[in-house]
């Protein structure tokens, strides 16, 4: 599996950027099959199955589940064909070029009190010991007690305007090789609910900048901090049922590390009244 991923990196940066820009990290199959234009955690697929063919026409951004189905050679079902995916891809590119992925996005909060509260949360978090964007962290001798990849989650804010949770997350890589988060989940056992992050609405002010991609890549001895935005679903879409609501943030990395951290979620308005709850 690993060697497969490494081989894929032969795609030139210019071509990779073109594919990512034209797709805006939307999956061609999700779009065609479900009309789904949400940003996806995914990969660039080689449509003819030949990883050495790195021409742009042979590449498409697919979400992880669809990439895995597309690459599988199962005889159990009729798999998606190369021509089929190329057709879906051209429809996707047209939709993105017309900015259809911005349609129907929430505009709430543009003038609302929560927008101000998000700024307050930002100020509160900024007062914590400064950990600015990317910086180097000291490499440690690896041992069982000192995992190479570390994650810290700060207090989460629940926005009633956006019906969403905003989390500030720190990642530190004390190992000697780069790794990358390939999957995030925010789980609430008491609600029997698991959420995946999505791109935040363009008008939201997040406490620290969002990562440019949810596939956060982190080099050896590097530290990075970013905001994750989780659109509420299920019971959470009706409001925060209790305060704090305790959940677990999970991150899975390309090299198979699984990080789990407990997180407490308060309403943004509560954090505004009690900034000491944010840490
Ligand atoms: Zn998909």
pLDDT of residue 7: 46
Nearest-angstrom CA–CA distance, 39 and 257: 23
Q: How far is the CA of 115 from the centre of ligand 1 (A)?
A: 32
**Angle 82-97/13-23 helices, nearest 10 degrees?**
70
Q: What's the CA gap between 185 and 89, in Å, rounded?
A: 27
- What is 232-279 written as a DSSP string? --GGGGG--SSSSEEEEEEEEETTS-EEEEEEEEEEHHHHHH-GGG--
* Distance from the alpha carbon of residue 16 to the mean position of ligand 1, in angstroms: 18
| Residue indicated by tokens 């210019």 | 14
Q: How far is the CA of 264 from the centre of ligand 1 (A)?
A: 31
For the stretch 74-118, pLDDT in tens is 655 678 899 999 999 999 999 888 878 776 444 333 334 555 566
Q: Answer whether residue 144 is part of any domain.
A: yes
pLDDT at 252: 92
Distance 88 CA to ligand 1 centre (A): 11
Q: Are residues 226 and 92 in the same domain?
A: no
pLDDT of residue 74: 63
Q: pLDDT for 240-250, tens place per residue? A: 999 999 999 99
Sequence-distant (≥ 6) Cβ neighbours of residue 66 within 8 angstroms: 27, 29, 30, 42
CA distance 271 to 116: 12
Residue numbers of the chain with a pLDDT score lower than 50: 1-8, 104-112, 129-134, 140-146
Q: Taking Cα atoms as reference points, which of 118, 59, 116 lies closest to residue 86?
A: 59
Within-domain flag for 246: yes
| 28 CA → ligand 1 middle, Å | 7
Q: Domain boundary at 78, 102, 126, which?
A: 102
Which residues pair with residue 151 across a beta bridge?
171
Same domain, 138 and 157: yes
CA 262 / ligand 1 centre spacing (Å): 29
Q: Which residues pair with 172 in a beta bridge?
A: 150, 223
Q: Are residues 128 and 262 in the same domain?
A: yes
Cα(279) to centroid of ligand 1, in Å? 36
| Predicted TM-score (pTM) of this structure | 0.53
Residue 150 CA, ligand 1 centroid: distance in Å: 29
Separation of CA 247 and ligand 1 centre (Å):
27
């Amino acid at each position: 599996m690993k060697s497969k991923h490494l081989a894929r990196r032969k795609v030139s940066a210019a071509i990779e950027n073109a594919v990512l820009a034209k797709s805006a990290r939307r999956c061609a199959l999700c779009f065609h099959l479900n009309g789904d234009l949400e940003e996806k955690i995914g990969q660039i697929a080689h449509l003819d199955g030949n990883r050495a063919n790195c021409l742009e026409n042979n590449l498409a951004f697919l979400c992880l589940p669809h990439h895995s189905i597309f690459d599988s050679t199962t005889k159990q079902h009729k798999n998606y064909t190369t021509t089929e995916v190329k057709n879906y891809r051209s429809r996707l590119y047209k939709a993105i070029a017309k900015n259809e992925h911005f349609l129907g996005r929430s505009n709430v909060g543009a003038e609302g009190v929560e927008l101000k509260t998000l700024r307050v949360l930002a100020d509160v978090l900024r007062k914590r010991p400064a950990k600015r964007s990317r910086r180097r962290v000291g490499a440690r001798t690896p041992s069982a007690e000192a995992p190479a990849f570390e994650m810290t989650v700060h207090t989460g804010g629940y926005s009633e305007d956006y019906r969403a949770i905003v989390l500030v997350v720190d990642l530190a890589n004390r190992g000697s090789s780069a790794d990358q988060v390939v999957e995030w989940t925010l789980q609430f056992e008491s609600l029997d609910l698991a959420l995946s992050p999505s791109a935040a609405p363009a008008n939201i002010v997040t406490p620290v900048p969002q990562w440019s991609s949810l596939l956060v890549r982190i080099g050896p001895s590097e530290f990075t901090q970013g905001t994750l935005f989780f659109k509420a679903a299920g019971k959470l879409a009706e409001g925060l049922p209790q305060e704090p609501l305790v959940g677990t943030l999970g991150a899975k990395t390309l090299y198979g590390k699984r990080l789990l951290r407990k997180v407490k979620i308060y309403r943004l308005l509560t954090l505004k009244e009690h900034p000491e709850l944010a840490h």
